[in-house]
Amino acid sequence: MSAIEVQPISGALGAEILNVDLSEHLNNDQFNKIHQAFLDNLVVFFRDQDLTPGQHVRFAKRFGELDIHKFIPGLPENPELIPVIKSAGDTNSNFGGIWHTDVSFQEQPALGSLLYGRKVPEYGGDTIFSNMYLAYERLSNGLKRTIADLRAIHTAGQVYGVDKRQESIQRFAYGDESMNVRFGADAEEEVSHPVVRIHPETGKKSLFVNEVYTTRFEGWTIEESAGLLKFLFNWSTRPDFTCRFRWQQGSMAFWDNRCVQHYALDDYYGFDRIMHRATIRGDKPV
């Protein structure tokens, strides 16, 4: 096979990596090139991969220990892989159709996620990614100073809390046919993370708030926090900071949750979309 090539897909973030077969054992040189492309481009994509769940897990584990999702059961034989499914006849909203960073409700949110397309719609069902370094860098110096020492509260309660069960099941594709989500009182736990975090590998600063899991600033009320949070949510997902990925069967996307948000489009009614996601455990944001 020829040497690995990295082709950016937008000016903001995202690159396709060519000439690599992820089903095979990667040598250190191949691994280092992929790792560097991941740090440089924030989200990388591979096409035409033919992977068993075991090979998906093996590739993901090259980057760190894998997380077991607290609320979404994994595959019986590969608990580190969660199925992200919406079936053709399901009229409910999809999983991931709000801007977010994976599992930011944990003390140690995800380093990265590797999503693999097993069955994808003929068209629709793209995923959009947003560069949270840019979202921070493009703020005015005044606002950078205001948020410099702020911390924000993150919780899974809004999604997986017991009192959300009824609403979530009615609204989202969370049923026997699609995703079998667990709701629990433990979802209400709150953690605090810095609003501006420093990436442990690149040393760069990024905004670290998201609409799904961030509820307020630490020491501020929900009401006081709402205006500034809303601004930051909208700002960080401006089209200029994003790229959009069109899936094919066998595509893999690997994004860095420490500096990327993502959004799964819900525009494929009538088609099945079946994906598997591995999530790599990250460190405590600083």
Q: How far is the CB of 254 from ligand SIN (least distance, A)?
A: 12
CA 58 to chain centre: 19
Give the number of residues in contact with ligand SIN, rule: CB under 6 A: 11
96 forms part of the interface with ligand SIN (CB under 6 A): yes
Site for ligand SIN in 169-208 (CB under 6 A): none
Q: How far is the CB of 88 from ligand SIN (least distance, A)?
A: 16
127 forms part of the interface with ligand SIN (CB under 6 A): yes
* Beta-strand relationship, 81-86 and 273-281: antiparallel
Active site residue 262: yes
- Binding string, residues 27-66; x marks residues near ligand SIN by CB under 6 A: ----------------------------------------
Looking at the Cβ atoms of 121 and 285, the one nearer to ligand SIN is 121
What are the backbone angles phi and psi of residue 246, rounded to the nearest 5°?
Answer: -95, 120
Among 43, 44, 72, 115, binds ligand SIN (CB under 6 A): 115
Q: For residue 93, what are the contacts with CB-CB under 8 A and spacing of at least 6?
A: 171, 172, 173, 266
Looking at the Cβ atoms of 225 and 257, the one nearer to ligand SIN is 257
Are 246 and 126 contacting, i.e. CB atoms less than 8 angstroms apart? yes
Among 152, 191, 252, 275, binds ligand SIN (CB under 6 A): 275
> Which residue is at the shortest CB distance from ligand SIN?
96
Active site residue 193: no
Looking at the Cβ atoms of 96 and 228, the one nearer to ligand SIN is 96
**From 69, 100, 154, 216, active-site residue:** 100
Are 284 and 149 contacting, i.e. CB atoms less than 8 angstroms apart? no
135 forms part of the interface with ligand SIN (CB under 6 A): no
Active site residue 35: no
Per CB under 6 A, the segment of 22-30, 94-102, 181-189, 205-213 that binds ligand SIN is: 94-102
Residue type, 172: F
277 forms part of the interface with ligand SIN (CB under 6 A): yes
Q: How far is the CB of 223 from ligand SIN (least distance, A)?
A: 29
Q: Which residues are catalytic?
A: 100, 102, 262, 277
Contacts with ligand SIN by CB under 6 A lie at 84, 95-96, 102, 113, 115, 127, 262, 264, 275, 277
